[in-house]
Structure 1
Amino acid sequence: MITIHLKYEIDVDKLEAFEEYARRWVKLVNRFGGTHHGYFLPSEGDSDIAYALFSFSGLAAYEQYRTDSMTDPQCQAAFDLARETRCIKRYERRFLRPLETPGP
């Protein structure tokens, strides 16, 4: 399993647009076989930082999702929303793996 951690720097004046972008991607990742763990929006502390976590069974499944998303109309509409509204200033992507622990 691989989990993707995204850290977004967002435009706080365009939070509603970012929320719509996030709602779309939760559904899209799940439709493409991943498990979306959610978006985490600013509350206390930094007002312009948001996070997302989602997992795929492995790197190959994630790469297939990335390839497929480039031609999917709903994915392209989500990318366009972010570009047109400029709700995302920048983002960072990290790949994480869960710690395997032995059973009882």
Structure 2
Amino acid sequence: MITCVVEYVVDPAKIEQFEQFAQRWMELVNRHGGTHHGYFLPSEGASDKALALFSFPSLAEYEQYRALFGVDPDFVAADRIRDESGCVLRYDRTFMRPLLP
């Protein structure tokens, strides 16, 4: 299993748009073989940081999911929310392997 951790810098004035973007991506990950563990949004302290965590059974299955970016109309529509609203200023993606009980 691999887990993707996405760290976002978001526009604090556009949290509602980020939430719409996040809802769409949670649906897409789950529909295409992954398990989305949720988005974690600013609450107290730094108001421009957000995280997303999702897992796929293998890197190969993650790569099948990634092949849909820019091609599948649902993926394009989800990215359009981000692009048109400007809710995401920057993001960084890291792959980790979970150590679970």
Amino acid in structure 2 at the alignment position of 1:37: H
By how many angstroms is 1:100 displaced? Answer: 6.5
Amino acid in structure 1 at the alignment position of 2:47: S
Instruction: After TM superposition, list the pairs within 5 Å mapping 1:47-58 onto structure 2.
Output: 47-58=47-58
Counterpart in the other structure of 2:93:
93
CA-based RMSD of the aligned residues comes to 1.1
Identity of aligned residues (%): 56
How many residues are treated as equivalent by the alignment? 101
Matched, 1:71 2:101: no
CA displacement, residues 38-73 of structure 1 (integer Å, 9 cap, x when unaligned): 000000111000000000001100011000233111
**Partners in 2 of 1:45 and 1:11 — Cα distance?**
15
Structure 1 runs of 4+ aligned residues shifted over 4 Å read none
By how many angstroms is 1:78 displaced? Answer: 0.7
Q: Which has the larger radius of gyration?
A: 1
Q: CA distance change for structure 1 residues 14 and 100 in 2, over 3 Å: closer, same or farther?
A: closer
Structure 1 length as normaliser, TM-score? 0.93
By how many angstroms is 1:22 displaced? Answer: 0.2
Instruction: After TM superposition, list the pairs within 5 Å mapping 1:29-68 onto structure 2.
Output: 29-68=29-68
